[in-house]
């Protein structure tokens, strides 16, 4: 288990590092500011992150949490001495796997990590597909997919950075994904629900793309977004 720690209090961060290593976890990295975390987190490849909510600014940890759920795929636990409703409501939007309240004990840290990882593993199951990119096989995580479109006997899987073309039908890829984040909205389009930025006049907006919604799917989209 590789644990990343972010806390602007150096002593607390080092204390957390000692605790996680005492319980046999590996320290993936440590940072003391939001900027440091964002520079390190993608390369450290942790299995879980412990994030202090209030570092240099009140919501630094939550903003890091938002980055992680958008760009990575591992659970986060917030460390906080704050319990005001506004902070908790903002934190909940990033779907944390747990909280550690300051001051904490070794048992608090161990319990939070174990529960978070166990719940995450139960809920995540398979969260990627393998796609061909030239001569390479690429592990494409579900959270990376924006939408999928079809033409003839091929599908295009669009991410923020790449488009992968596969010889497969839309129905086959839907069956392969078999995940609640994906929904068909048109005979030629499947979208990642979490990537929708706007819905207007029968059209969905995901990134720079404008995606049509067929009449048969309008109610499902309306129920999803209302």
pTM exceeds 0.75, yes or no: no
**Domain range annotation of the chain:** 2-124, 128-225
Burial class (CB in 10 A: 0-12, 13-18, 19+), 209: middle
The CA distance from 153 to 61, in Å, is 45
CATH architecture of 128-225: Beta Barrel (2.40)
Encode pLDDT of 102-139 as tens digits: 999 999 999 999 888 777 766 555 677 888 787 777 77
Own/partner contacts of 87-93, CB < 8 Å, gap of 24 or more, are: 87/53, 87/58, 87/59, 87/62, 90/59, 90/62, 91/53, 91/62, 91/65, 93/66
Strands (E), the chain: 2-6, 26-31, 48-52, 76-80, 98-101, 128-133, 136-141, 145-151, 154-159, 163-166, 182-186, 189-192, 198-200, 203-206, 209-212
Tell me, what's the pLDDT at 126? 60
For residue 124, the model assigns a pLDDT of: 56
Alpha-carbon distance values, 187 to 85, 148, 159, 193, 215 (Å): 43, 11, 20, 16, 11
25-32 CB contacts, 8 Å cutoff, 24+ apart: 25/1, 25/113, 26/1, 26/2, 27/2, 27/3, 28/2, 28/3, 28/4, 29/4, 29/5, 30/4, 30/5, 30/6, 31/4, 31/5, 31/6, 32/6, 32/7, 32/8
pLDDT at 207: 86
Q: Is the four-CA dihedral 211, 217, 219, 223 of positive or negative sign? A: negative
Residue 9, H or E segment = none
Angle between helices 34-44 and 60-71 (to 10 degrees): 30
List all residues 6 or more positions away from 119 whose beta carbon is below 8 Å from its beta carbon: 75, 97
Distance of CA 19 to the CA centre of its chain: 26
In the predicted model, residues of the chain with pLDDT beneath 50 are none
| Topology adopted by domain 2-124 | Rossmann fold (3.40.50)
Q: What is the pLDDT of residue 95?
A: 85
């Amino acid at each position: 288990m590789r644990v990343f720690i972010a806390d602007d209090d150096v002593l607390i961060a080092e204390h957390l590092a000692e605790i996680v290593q005492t319980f046999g976890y590996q320290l993936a990295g440590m940072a003391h500011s939001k900027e440091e975390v964002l520079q390190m987190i993608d390369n450290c490849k942790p299995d879980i992150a412990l994030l202090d909510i209030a570092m240099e600014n009140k919501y630094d940890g939550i903003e890091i949490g938002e980055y992680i759920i958008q760009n990575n795929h591992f659970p986060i636990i917030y460390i906080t001495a704050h319990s005001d409703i506004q902070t908790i409501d903002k934190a909940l939007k990033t779907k944390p796997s747990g909280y550690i309240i300051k001051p904490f004990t070794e048992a608090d840290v161990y319990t939070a990590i174990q529960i978070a990882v166990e719940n995450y593993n139960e809920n995540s199951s398979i969260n990627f597909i393998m796609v061909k990119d030239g001569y390479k096989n690429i592990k494409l995580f579900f959270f990376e997919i924006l939408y999928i479109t079809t033409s003839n006997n091929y599908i295009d899987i669009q991410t923020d950075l790449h488009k992968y073309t596969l010889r497969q039908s839309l129905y086959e890829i839907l069956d392969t994904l078999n995940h609640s984040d994906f929904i068909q909205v048109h005979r030629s389009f499947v979208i990642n629900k979490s990537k929708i930025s706007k819905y207007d006049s029968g059209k969905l907006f995901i990134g720079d793309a404008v995606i049509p919604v067929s009449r048969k799917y309008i109610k499902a989209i309306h129920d999803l977004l209302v």
